[in-house]
Amino acid sequence: MQSTYNQLTELVEHHLAVIYNDVELPLSYQALAQDLLSTIGLSENQDIPPPLRHHNNWTQQDAVLITYGDSIEEAGVKPLKTLHKFLNERCIDNLNSVHILPFFPYSSDDGFSVIDYSSVNESLGDWVDIKRIATDFRLMSDVVINHCSARSAWFDNFIKGEGLGSDFFYTASPDEDLSNVVRPRTSPLLRETETATGMQHVWCTFSHDQVDFDFRNPKVLQTFVSIIRQYLDNGVRLFRLDAVAFLWKKIGTNCINLEQTHEVVRLLRTLIEHAQSDVIIITETNIPNRENLAYLGNANEAHAIYNFSLPPLLVNTLITGDCHYLKSWLMSMPPAQNGTTYFNFIASHDGIGLRPAEGLLADEELTVLVNTMQNFGGRVSWRASENGQQKAYEINIALYDALQGTTKGTDKWGFQRFICAHAIMLGLEGIPGIYIHSLLATGNDYERVKNTSHNRAINRHKWQYGELQEQLASPYSQHHRVLKAMGELLTIRRRQVAFHPNATQFTLQLGNHIFGFWRQSIDRRQSIFCLSNISDEPQEIHLSDINLVGTDQWLDLMTQQPIYASQSSIVLAPYQTMWISNLPKG
C-alpha cells in the first residue's frame, strides 16, 4: 500500500506539472516536490494524516479585527505591546482573531512593499510580541506574494546580478504588446533598471517601488514556502495571500487570474494544510465578483475569499435607501460549500473597491456613489481602463464618515446607519472582519493625507493610546457609543448557531426599503430572520411576508422582546435591525 508521504509527493508533483507545464525546470518535479515538502516541515518518517475534506475550521464565534501593528501608539512602548494590551482590554470577549497588516520592514504602501519577509519591523516590536498575540488570538498575517520592495536585498542582488534574488524578478521588453495587461494603477507597467547585465525593464503591477516576482523560477516558490513555514512557527494560523490574482504573467494575456495562479494557490493549500490542519487561507483578489468566486475552486483552493462586492453594494444601499442591487447580488451568490466560506467586511485599510461592483451596480449608480462619498470628504483613486481612459478604482474614506448621510446630504441618522451596516454584515453567511477604525468610529484623517500625499491614508489614523482611552471612557463620544454597540452585536452573534458561516441563507423579498434574509442552523433547530430598515423613514413589515412558524416562540435578539406569530405587522425605525429568532423547545 502506498504511503501517505508518497501519495502527497505525487499530489504535489501534479500541482507542479500544471504550474510549470511550459517552463523548463533545472530539476525534476519529484525533486522539487520533495524539496517543498521538506521546507514546509514534512518528511517520509512522520505520520501525515490527510486533511479532512469539506471540514469547516470556523464557527459563529469567529470574528477578526483588522489593524495595523501601530494603529494605536503609546510613548515609550513598542506598538505591538500596546496593540496586545488594547486587544485584551477591549476585544477579547467578542473578537477571537486579529489580522495584523504587514508587520515587516517596508519602504512604501504602508507595509505592502516588503523589504524583509523574515523580520518584524523593529519600530513595531519583534517575533516575541507576535507570538504573544498569537497565544491569545488567532493570528492572521499577510503573505505579500506578488511583489516586494525595490529596496530589498533581493532586488539589490538582481541589480548586481549575483546572490539570492538575482533571478527572482519578472522582466519584459517595452517592444512587446502589453496592451491586454489588467492594471490596478495608472503608473507605467515597466520600470527601467540599470543592472550589471545592462538595462532591464522590470514588471511593476502596482508601483515602481513594488517589483513583481517571476514565479517561473521555482526558487521563488521555494522561498515563499520557507517564509510560510516561518510564519507557522510564529503562530500564524490565517494566511492572507495579497494581490495573488496577478502572480503569474504570460505575455499576450491579461496577466490576471491565469490557470497557473490558481494552481499555485492549490499547491500552497496542499502543503499548508498537511503541515497544519487548522490553518485558513484567504485570497485577496479585488476583482469582479465572478472572478473572485473562482478562487474557492472546488473546495481545493482558498478556504475563504474576501467578499469584495459587499462594501460598495452595502454603502450604496444605505445612502440611497434602496436595497435592490444588494438583494440581486445576494440572490446570485452561491452558498459556500463546507470547507469554504466568505470573508465579509465593509471597511479596510485600503478603501471601497469599485471593480467588484462592476456588472452589479449600474454606471449611474456608481457615479452617484462616488459623488456622494466625495461630498462626505472622501477621495477617489483611479486606474487606466481597457480603452485607456481613467476610471474610478477605489473610494478612500473612513466608513463612519461614509455613512454620515444619504444622497440628499448629511443627516441625524449617521450612528444608526453605521450600526445597521454592521448588523447586516454580521448576520450574513461568512466570517466577519471588522477594521479597527470602524470598531472605534474613527473619522477621515485629512492630516495624514496631507502629510503622506496618499489617498488611502485618510482611513489609516494612528491613535494615541491615552487619547483613545479618554474617548472610550466618555459615554457621549461616538467612539464609546460605537464600540459599545459593536460589542453588543458581536456578543449576540457568537451565541447563535444559525450564524455559523456555513448555515443556510435565503434572501427575503420585502420591498426595496427593507433588506432581509433568513438564516437556519446546520442542524435546522434555529432560524433567524434578519430584517433591516435601510431607509430614513419608519417601515412596516407584515409578518405574513416572513412566515413565522406559529408553533414556535419568537424573540428579537436585539431587544429581547417577544415577537408573536399572531401579530399582523411590526414597524422598524429608520436603520433599525431585528434578528428574530425562534426559541429552543424544552
Annotated binding-site positions for substrate: 109, 147, 240-242, 349-350, 456
8 A C-beta contact, residue 409 and residue 42: no
Cα 297 to its chain centre, rounded Å, is 17
8 A C-beta contact, residue 13 and residue 38: no
Torsion, Cα of 541, 547, 552, 556 (10° steps) = -30
How big is the chain, counted in residues?
A: 586
d(CA 565, CA 46): 58
110 closest CA partner among 155, 69, 153: 69
Active site annotation includes 242: yes
Mark out the alpha helices in 379-477 (DSSP H runs).
399-402, 414-427, 436-439, 446-452, 465-473
d(CA 353, CA 454): 16
Sheet of strand 352-353: strand arrangement:
352-353, 390-396, 379-384
d(CA 263, CA 252): 20
Catalytic one of 129, 209, 212, 242: 242
Residue 302 Cα distances to 13, 124, 132, 262, angstroms: 19, 29, 27, 9
* CA count, 13 A, side-chain hemisphere, 450: 4
Secondary structure class of 67 (helix, strand, coil): strand
334 closest CA partner among 300, 367, 298: 298
8 A C-beta contact, residue 166 and residue 160: yes
8 A C-beta contact, residue 506 and residue 497: no
402 closest CA partner among 487, 312, 468: 312
Residues contacting residue 198 through CB under 8 Å, at least 6 positions apart: none
d(CA 574, CA 562): 20
426 closest CA partner among 361, 521, 515, 345: 345
Beta strands in 145-197 (DSSP E): 147-149, 190-195
Q: What is the DSSP letter of 145?
A: -
Residue 344's H or E segment, with its range, is strand 341-344
Angle at the Cα of 574 (from 572 to 577), degrees rounded to 5?
A: 55
Cα 11 to its chain centre, rounded Å, is 29
Q: What is the DSSP letter of 350?
A: S
Cα 294 to its chain centre, rounded Å, is 16
Sort residue 499 into left (φ over 0), alpha (ψ -120 to 50) or beta.
alpha
Q: What is the DSSP letter of 279?
A: -
d(CA 35, CA 57): 28
User: Would you please indicate which residues are annotated as catalytic (active-site) residues?
Assistant: 242
